[in-house]
């Protein structure tokens, strides 16, 4: 085995109330530690609560096997052993060693019994002489922790005759002892420092040419990557950066470890920080997790929790934590695994090397990443929600052929072409220069519905430069800037024109689902609408809406507008300011593209005005912007009172649906977490519904 050096992470141990090792959490922890560049793992050390498992060989072996499986032999595994008698240590090495050969061990003097130097010498001679040489062994010197039993430098020197002794971990409380240990460093004997706040002082005691045979044992490496950087600067003999990183580590330690806890504060603080880091990926339904949560809630005060959460957020933003890539809630990938996945796709190999991955960005339906290659910047959208009507279909693959007129709604072969596209599970759709899309959208670089490369349907699209319209509007409002200006009026006019262009793609009938496009058996739109209305009214009754009869009367009074509906067009169906990408250049807005077509469908034009009206025009209350939008849209369609009334009808049905969804969420969720925001949403929906039916 090559010499063990660099950063040895003193790992946490996750266990349930019965002291059973939790496989999922510990596996996630080991992957995270690997991602953050540790060179080896120390199991059952001080941070890993090793004393709790000193005689529990079964659970020890379980954690060792998890570590070996997770790390795949990439880094050494060292197991910390505790005992009072040499025979205890020898027995554990033999038992564990038979089940797991590719591990090392770290042993200390007796824990609670102070013995003479001769007795200590006999203790180590007995152990080292009895252990099979295939198991490298490290000693640990920490007199304060081990009953003032100190490993004298002369004793250590006499033990070097044993071939399986490969190094020592020193607590660094005695500089004289540390200097003496340093003189024994060679290519077969490593020297580690176990005191985090003194790493930089430790390296200054070691000649630069010998530092490659040294290392540091760190608990904070359960979370951050700074220790690997510190070791790198130690090898480079860059003392200024070494000191700078030590100060950063000390600052992080104070923020993570400084909690009011009856237990070990470093371990509790680190566990809370780690669980907070992966709170969206960890399944919280199992009893073991609830035990850890309740224990941390008891041990850590509210102020400390808030400080740790803020610290984790800061460290992530400053790349001092490398987070695993979470595609969905259970699938976590390291960077090299992502590269391996990409190498299976020719379209991505052609983009060059991966330079940077940003994300994940959460959405209701997808987990999204932005990936920078040598030659391009792409967006990956993994369909990680199971609650979605078309979860096994990348909808752009069917949409885009309509946008550049490859598919024409009146084509006699439309159904055959649609079926061919739907059944094609992998591919791309790149627009040709001579036939651009009718509205600005990005190319579909690759899509895959097989779930063979990753366990999700996913697509790869070009990145559209710019920002969503929503934060741009918010920024202007927060800065008290006027939106009633020429550049905003021009932007909204262009936005209206593009929506009108999209609605120029007309169909001769209504289709309940896009997968049915081209079918000859027509669906009654009025019956479809009535079915949706009946369902939402029934749900509203369960949710204690006491004016259901007024809603029914409103729809009955206006049913002719729905009965006479005979114009069906291609709809974005989520047309809001988050899905409009804008680039501001020298005081001019450029509409660079539209995104998120997961809800596109065939239906009435008025449906695409619902979110525009509710989320943009009503809150802004700037009539000139709506007029500019209407002006752009009117290049394709005219506005009249009948069309405006249709918008209100469709908006009422949408509000009713949203009210029912929020009501169910409130019933099924933890009240104290969502009551405030949900109650506000429910009140807003009710107010808007009443305003429509009473013509306020």
pLDDT digits (tens, 9 = 90+) for 264-299: 678 899 999 999 999 877 876 667 788 888 888 888
- Domain residue limits, the chain: 6-259, 331-462, 468-693
- Predicted confidence at residue 668, as pLDDT, reads 63
Query: Against a cut of 0.85, is the pTM above it?
Result: no
Neighbours of 671 (CB within 10 A): 9
As given in the structure block, the two tokens for residue 549 are 């009869």
Mean pLDDT of 155-160: 95
Per-residue pLDDT, 391: 63
Q: In this structure, what DSSP letter does residue 465 have?
A: P
Distance in angstroms (rounded) separating the CA atoms of residues 93 and 103: 10
Contacts for 598-601: CB closer than 8 Å, 24+ residues apart: 598/365, 598/366, 598/388, 598/390, 598/395, 598/574, 599/572, 599/573, 599/574, 600/395, 600/399, 600/514, 600/570, 600/571, 600/572, 600/573, 601/511, 601/513, 601/514, 601/571, 601/573
- Mean pLDDT value across residues 21-31: 93
Per-residue confidence at 381, pLDDT binned at 50, 70, 90?
A: very high
Q: How far apart are CA 266 and CA 258, in angstroms?
A: 8
As a whole number of angstroms, the distance between CA 634 and CA 17 comes to: 67
On whether the CB atoms of residues 649 and 558 are closer than 8 A, the answer is yes
Looking up tokens 């309940």 gives 512
The pLDDT score that the predictor gives to residue 262 is 53
Mean pLDDT across 52-60: 87
Q: What six digits make up the tokens of 366? A: 């997808």
Residue found under tokens 């005005």: 609
Mean pLDDT of the region 95-121: 87
* HSE of 172, CA atoms in CB hemisphere, 13 A: 20
Q: Which residues pair with 569 in a beta bridge?
A: 506, 603
Task: Take residue 23 and report the two structure tokens written for it.
Answer: 């496989």
Q: What per-residue confidence (pLDDT) applies to 390?
A: 57
- Reply yes or no on whether the pLDDT at 677 is more than 60: no
How high is the pLDDT of residue 290?
A: 82
Give pLDDT, residue 651.
93
Pick the closest to residue 22 from 49, 71, 59, 53 (CA basis): 59
The rounded Cα 365 to chain-centroid distance in angstroms is 14
Residue % of the chain over a pLDDT of 70: 95
CB–CB of 50/78 below 8 Å? no
Most confident of 48-52, 322-326, 363-367, 441-445: 441-445
**Domain 468-693: assigned CATH number:** 3.90.1200.10
Confidence (pLDDT) at 160: 94
Residues 6 or more apart in contact with residue 89 via CB below 8 angstroms: 81, 83, 107, 127
- Residue range 6-259 forms a domain whose CATH class is alpha beta
What's the pLDDT score for residue 696? Answer: 44
Q: Return mean pLDDT, the chain.
A: 90
d(CA 674, CA 238): 50
Residue 2 pLDDT > 60, yes or no?
yes
**E strand or H helix that includes residue 141:** strand 137-141
**Which pairs with CB-CB distance under 8 Å and at least 24 residues apart come from 155-163?**
155/117, 155/120, 155/121, 155/124, 156/181, 156/184, 157/184, 158/121, 159/124, 159/125, 159/128, 160/184, 160/189, 162/128, 162/129, 163/133
Contacts of 572 (CB under 8 A, 6+ apart): 499, 502, 579, 594, 597, 599, 600, 608
Residue 669, pLDDT > 70, answer: no
Length of the chain as a residue count: 696
- Give me the pLDDT at residue 265, please: 76
Which pLDDT belongs to residue 679? 55
Q: What SS3 state is found at 353?
A: coil
Q: What average pLDDT does the segment 664-674 reach?
A: 55
For the segment 573-602, what is each residue's pLDDT rounded down to a tens digit?
Answer: 999 999 999 998 888 999 999 999 999 999
Q: What is the pLDDT of residue 20?
A: 93
**All residues at 6 or more sequence positions from 156 whose CB lies less than 8 Å from its CB, including other chains:** 139, 168, 181, 184
> Is residue 378 helix, strand or coil?
strand
* Long-range CB contacts (within 8 A, 24+) of 118-126: 120/149, 120/151, 120/155, 121/155, 121/158, 122/86, 123/86, 124/86, 124/155, 124/159, 125/159, 126/86, 126/87, 126/90
User: Under a CB-based contact definition with an 8 Å cutoff, are residues 604 and 565 in contact?
Assistant: yes
Q: Count CA within 13 A, CB hemisphere, residue 108.
A: 31
Contact criterion met (CB below 8 Å) for 348 and 329: no
- Checking if the pLDDT of 674 tops 50, the result is no
Q: Which residue's structure tokens are 């991505």?
A: 348
Residue 49 pLDDT: 85
- Tell me: cis bond preceding 557? Omega within 30 of 0 counts: no
Q: How many C-beta neighbours within 10 Å does residue 255 have?
A: 19
* Long-range CB contact pairs, 424-427, < 8 A, 24+: 424/397, 425/449, 425/450, 426/450, 427/397
Residue 444, H or E segment? strand 444-448
Average pLDDT of span 236-249: 95
Convert the pLDDT of each residue in 513-533 to its tens digit.
999 999 988 889 999 999 999
- Tell me how many degrees the CA angle 571-573-574 measures, rounded to the nearest 5: 140
Mean pLDDT of 18-37: 93
């Amino acid at each position: 085995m090559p010499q063990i050096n660099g950063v040895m992470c003193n790992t946490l141990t996750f266990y349930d109330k019965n002291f059973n090792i939790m496989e999922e959490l510990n596996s996630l922890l080991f992957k995270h530690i690997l991602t953050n560049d540790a060179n080896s793992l120390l199991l059952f050390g001080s941070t890993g609560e090793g004393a709790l498992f000193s005689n529990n060989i079964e659970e020890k072996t379980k954690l060792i096997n998890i570590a070996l499986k997770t790390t795949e032999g990439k880094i050494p595994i060292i197991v910390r052993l505790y005992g009072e008698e040499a025979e205890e240590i020898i027995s554990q090495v033999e038992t564990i060693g038979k089940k797991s050969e590719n591990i090392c061990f770290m042993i200390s003097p007796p824990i609670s019994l102070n013995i003479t130097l001769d007795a200590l010498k006999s203790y180590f001679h007995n152990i080292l002489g009895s252990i099979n040489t295939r198991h490298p062994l490290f000693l640990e010197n920490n007199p304060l922790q081990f009953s003032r039993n100190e490993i004298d430098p002369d004793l250590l020197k006499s033990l070097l005759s044993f071939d399986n002794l490969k190094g020592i971990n020193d607590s660094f409380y005695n500089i004289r002892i540390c200097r003496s240990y340093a003189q024994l460093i060679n290519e077969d004997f490593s020297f580690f420092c176990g005191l985090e706040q003194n790493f930089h002082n430790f390296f200054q005691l070691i000649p630069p040419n010998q530092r490659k045979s040294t290392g540091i044992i760190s608990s904070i490496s359960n979370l951050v990557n700074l220790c690997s950087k510190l070791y790198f600067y130690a090898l480079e003999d860059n003392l200024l950066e070494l000191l700078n990183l030590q100060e950063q580590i000390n600052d992080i330690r104070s923020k993570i470890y400084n909690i009011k806890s009856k237990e070990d504060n470093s371990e509790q603080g680190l566990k809370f920080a780690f669980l907070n880091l992966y709170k969206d990926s960890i399944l919280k339904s199992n009893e073991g997790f609830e035990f850890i949560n309740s224990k941390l809630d008891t041990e850590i005060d509210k102020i400390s929790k808030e400080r740790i959460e803020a610290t984790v957020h800061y460290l992530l933003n400053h790349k001092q934590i490398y987070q695993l890539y979470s595609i969905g809630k259970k699938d976590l990938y390291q960077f090299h695994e992502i590269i391996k996945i990409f190498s299976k796709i020719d379209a991505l190999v052609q983009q060059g090397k991966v330079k940077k991955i940003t994300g994940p960005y959460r959405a209701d339906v997808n987990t999204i990443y932005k990936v920078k290659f040598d030659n391009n910047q792409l967006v990956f959208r993994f369909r990680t929600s199971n609650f979605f009507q078309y979860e096994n279909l990348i909808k752009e693959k069917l949409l885009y052929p309509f946008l550049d007129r490859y598919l024409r709604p009146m084509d006699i072969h439309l159904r055959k072409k649609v079926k061919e596209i739907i059944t094609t599970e992998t591919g791309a759709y790149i627009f040709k220069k001579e036939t651009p899309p009718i509205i600005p959208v990005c190319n579909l670089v690759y899509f895959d519905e097989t779930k063979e490369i990753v366990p999700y349907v996913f697509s790869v699209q070009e990145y559209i430069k710019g920002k969503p319209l929503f934060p741009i509007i918010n920024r202007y409002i927060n800065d008290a800037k006027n939106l009633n200006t020429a550049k905003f009026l021009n932007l909204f006019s262009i936005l209206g024109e593009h929506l009108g262009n999209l609605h120029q793609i007309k169909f001769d009938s209504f289709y309940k689902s896009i997968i049915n496009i081209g079918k000859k058996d027509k669906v009654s739109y009025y019956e479809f609408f009535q079915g949706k209305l009946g369902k939402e009214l029934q749900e509203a009754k369960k949710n204690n809406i006491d004016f259901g009869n007024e809603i029914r009367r409103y729809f009955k009074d206006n049913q002719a507008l729905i009965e006479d509906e005979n114009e069906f067009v291609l709809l974005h169906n989520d047309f809001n300011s988050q899905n409009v990408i804008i680039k501001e250049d020298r005081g001019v807005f450029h509409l660079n593209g539209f995104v998120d077509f997961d809800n596109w469908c065939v239906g009435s034009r008025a449906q695409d005005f619902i979110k525009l009206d509710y989320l943009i025009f009503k809150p802004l209350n700037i009539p000139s912007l709506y007029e500019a939008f209407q002006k752009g849209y009117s290049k394709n369609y005219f506005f009249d009172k009948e069309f405006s009334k249709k918008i209100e009808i469709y908006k009422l049905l949408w509000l009713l649906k949203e009210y029912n969804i929020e009501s169910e969420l409130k019933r099924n969720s933890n009240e104290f977490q969502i009551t405030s925001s949900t109650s506000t949403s429910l009140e807003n929906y009710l107010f808007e519904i009443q305003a429509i039916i009473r013509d306020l």
